Chain A
């Protein structure tokens, strides 16, 4: 079953290839028959053109399998690009670059480096609208989580997550709750906040490999 699916998938990729190629040729023609462009403008066009070309060397064919091994992301290969997720995504409405459908396709195609280094994958708000509405039950937000987890392993992580992680390891709480707040609780007759078992959290962080991920210095920052 898996093998058959794999073969079919290879065909889809091939088709995608030729489609992209012809689209690019068209785009190139339009560019060339236009009036004489300034050098910089030409270069820019070329850059855009290059971005549209899919090179087999950019594709990691194992990537989709790796993602589909992650809990919750098993169904990545079932995405048939209907676009429901992008159409219904609140974030996509206000972002020029965040398109969940496109990210699913890029993942299927194995554009690993481009996906993992992109800061766009950090824009999903996990509102689960698309998760409930996807006709293929792809679990888009879990795929994005799988992508983020891998991005972190490659050294990409927005600063805010480093702060949250540090707070949790130091206090058990995701935010630093000030002394003033704690004092105020008493005045407001609220019971003392439950304490965290920091030794236990520290140990769990070590054995899951989490502490290593968040302690590494000199991280790359995600690119736009």
Chain B
């Protein structure tokens, strides 16, 4: 197998609150032979500032891309928001010469240049395309056959198709397949591709809570023993906010929410401690008993 080496783009949400994703991702990627190189310097991908000033988003993203180009390495992001933004800006600037000139005009002032020579992928894409299902299957030592889970891939892994173009946004199968490699059963439910609402929680919290409540409800209906996410923001909605949702809507879900990397890690034989399962808000002891 050719060497798989990536610059790890952590983003802001993961070091801020979701270390369990980083810890488990590093463990499983090492086992799969994916070599991670730390970003020599970092700034926010720019996504949160797009609503304020589009140009600022462009230069923040382009800055990260230019740094990666200097390292001669592709970027892998754990957060679909970062991956989607960097990917989109990379593509737009590669195509639009005028915009590229404009952005480079800004970057020049700081001694950087965007050339368009790097690539950006989300971890799920690296797992599916670079590592491959076969290789992942080989590392599974402890198949999770007792477990039935529902996926929540998150919007930015799927859409807009024009810039992501990796899975079918109307009928996604990649996360399902990745889940089934661990031996767990991936359960279908009615609104798997629906948004959790997380991006607007700072403006309006009731709408995202209602959206997530509805999804949890549909997951419970099909008997999900856990929810599997690949986005730190979605994870916050389902895990950290689950007790709040239960309080506000007077419901009981108690459905544990695992990062896909934790699920895979368990199947690889890592201990719950090694995968930082205790850092999750919703208690996971019930499902751990099944393993």
Contacts and interface: CB of A to CB of B under 8 A. Distances in A.
Interface of A: 70-71, 90-91, 94-95, 119, 122-129, 131-132, 145-146, 148-149, 152, 157-158, 160-161, 164-165, 168, 172-177, 181, 184-185, 188, 190-191, 193-197, 199-201, 203-205, 207-210, 213-214
Interface in B173-206: 193-195, 197-200, 202-204, 206
A158 to B, nearest CB: 5
B23 A208 contact: no
Most chain A C-beta atoms within 10 Å of own C-beta, residue among B39, B55, B106? B55
Interface stretch (B40-48, B115-123, B239-247, B254-262): B40-48
Most chain B C-beta atoms within 10 Å of own C-beta, residue among A125, A173, A185? A125
A148 B44 contact: no
Given A90-B211, A145-B54, 8 more contacts: A123-B204, A128-B155, A131-B159, A146-B54, A168-B43, A193-B15, A200-B63, A201-B60
A160 B110 contact: no
26 contacts: A71-B92, A90-B194, A91-B200, A94-B207, A95-B204, A125-B208, A127-B159, A131-B159, A132-B161, A132-B169, A132-B170, A160-B203, A173-B15, A173-B42, A174-B48, A181-B15, A181-B16, A196-B42, A197-B41, A201-B60, A204-B59, A204-B107, A208-B56, A209-B53, A209-B55, A214-B52
B48 A132 contact: no
B15 A177 contact: yes
B237 to A, nearest CB: 11
- Sort A-B residue pairs by CB-CB distance and give the 5 closest, nearest first: A160-B202, A128-B159, A127-B195, A194-B42, A175-B16
A172 B43 CA distance: 5
Contact of B160 (A132, A168, A174): A132
A71 B98 CA distance: 11
Given A122-B51, A165-B49, A195-B41, A129 B159 contact: yes
B30 to A, nearest CB: 12
B13 to A, nearest CB: 7
Interface in B1-38: 10, 12-13, 15-17, 19, 22-23, 26, 38
A90 B53 contact: no
B138 interface: no
A190 B19 contact: yes
B52 A213 contact: yes
Nearest to B19: A188
Interface of B: 10, 12-13, 15-17, 19, 22-23, 26, 38-44, 48-56, 59-60, 63, 92, 96, 99, 106-107, 109-112, 155-156, 159-161, 169-170, 193-195, 197-200, 202-204, 206-208, 210-211, 276
A172 B199 contact: no
Contact of A91 (B23, B40, B202, B207): B207
B19 A184 contact: yes
B54 A125 contact: no
A158 B48 CA distance: 12
B51 A145 contact: yes
A70 B54 contact: yes
Given A158-B203, A184-B19, A203-B110, A210 B63 contact: no
Contacts of A90: 194-195, 197, 211
A123 B200 contact: yes
A84 to B, nearest CB: 13
A160 B156 CA distance: 21
A125 B41 contact: no
A91 B197 CA distance: 7
B39 A194 contact: yes
Contact of B44 (A126, A173, A191): A173
Nearest to A158: B203
A208 B207 contact: no
Contacts of B56: 204-205, 208, 210
A116 to B, nearest CB: 13
Contacts of A205: 56
B159 A149 contact: no
Contacts of B208: 125
